[in-house]
Amino acid sequence: MCTCITLKNNDFYFGRNLDLDYSFGESVTVTPRSYSFKLKNGTLFKNRYAMIGMATVVDEYPLYAEAVNEAGLGMAGLNFPHHSMYPDPVKDKINITPFEFIPYVLGQAASVKEARELLKDIWLDNIPFSPQLPITVLHFMIADKDEAIVIEHSDNGLLIYDNPVGVMTNNPRFPYHLTNLRNYRHLSPKNTDNRFSSKIELPSYAEGMGAIGLPGDYSSASRFVKAAFGKLNAVSDGSEEGNVTEFFRILDSVAMVKGSVITENDHLDVTTYTCCANATKGIYYYKTYNNISLSAVDMHKEDLDGDKLVSYQLNKELKVYYHN
């Protein structure tokens, strides 16, 4: 359960809600240009581009949930059960595992166009990071200031979809969400004229009635529609403060409140964190479920020519500004 969006207003922004019933030891992590990734296929590669995002660092290896690189490219993995298939490695392809996918792409591609070229040779296989960390079934969004794509893996390889909305959630497959969006084409941020009948007057009685019918539940299909409506109609003055505020407001509208979603195991599914990365400037903002104040890390204040990871533990305790 997650929601990922993009936003362009002067700078380009990329981020998501991470909806889960537990914390996975995540931290804001900067991977510099000279960090060496040792892949499960036995090869070693160094980044062309530094990146910043949320990751679980295990044995000095960043397992990214999402990240942006210094060239302005963003990528996120979202839960996608029952659909993604990761077969055995194959010949004549670059075999990488899902947990290697984000750093592999962001470490080498500066744009979606370049990412598309990389994807032609990639095969996502079923080799886990370790026996304790099995494969996570995901699909992915890759985006820059000009375009976005969604990648879903089947037994026949990568399926790549253009994403004109710049929004992604979870099941079903991505084409369903684009088709389902047509069911809401009548919605408007403005109050609409009476189209019920010319034989009766039905004046509006409140603002916001043009969006009656906008979904409000937490299903992935509904979150896609609501996030798309918020994003495509959002208004900002184009400043950093304005853009970041609107970005978080959009994601807040589809965030999960504790107790509103209970999993099959009777666990509480919540929005463990929300992030917004200014991919143009390399600044990563976040807030957690228990700390709604914003924290930020600027990747360009780190040594991006280095070869060591830099991680910041999350500020999870609420800080209140008292006026008196």
215-265 pLDDT per residue, tens: 999 999 999 999 999 999 999 999 999 999 999 999 999 999 999 999 888
Confidence of residue 154 (pLDDT cuts 50, 70, 90): confident
Q: What is the pLDDT of residue 54?
A: 98
Mean pLDDT of the chain: 94
Report d(CA 224, CA 155) in Å as an integer.
Answer: 26
Report d(CA 121, CA 157) in Å as an integer.
Answer: 10
Confidence of residue 130 (pLDDT cuts 50, 70, 90): confident
Cβ atoms of 6 and 277 within 8 Å: the answer is no
Listed in sequence order, the residues at least 6 apart from 156 whose beta carbon sits closer than 8 Å to its beta carbon are none
The DSSP element (H or E) to which 240 belongs, if any, is helix 240-252
Confidence of residue 83 (pLDDT cuts 50, 70, 90): confident
- Whose tokens are 């019933």? That residue is 21
Active-site entry in 2, 4, 275, 276: 2
Task: Say how many C-beta atoms besides its own lie within 10 A of residue 156's C-beta.
Answer: 8
Q: Residue 273: which of 291, 260, 258, 259 has the closest Cα?
A: 291
Cβ atoms of 187 and 211 within 8 Å: the answer is yes
DSSP 200: S
Examine residue 81 and say whether the peptide bond preceding it is cis (omega within 30 degrees of 0). Answer: no
What digits encode the pLDDT tens for the residues 265-318?
A: 899 999 999 999 999 999 999 999 999 999 999 999 999 999 999 999 999 999
The backbone torsions φ and ψ at residue 240, rounded to the nearest 5 degrees and listed phi first, read -60, -45
Q: What is the pLDDT of residue 142?
A: 98
Is 4 a catalytic site residue?
no
Strands 122-124 and 94-96: parallel
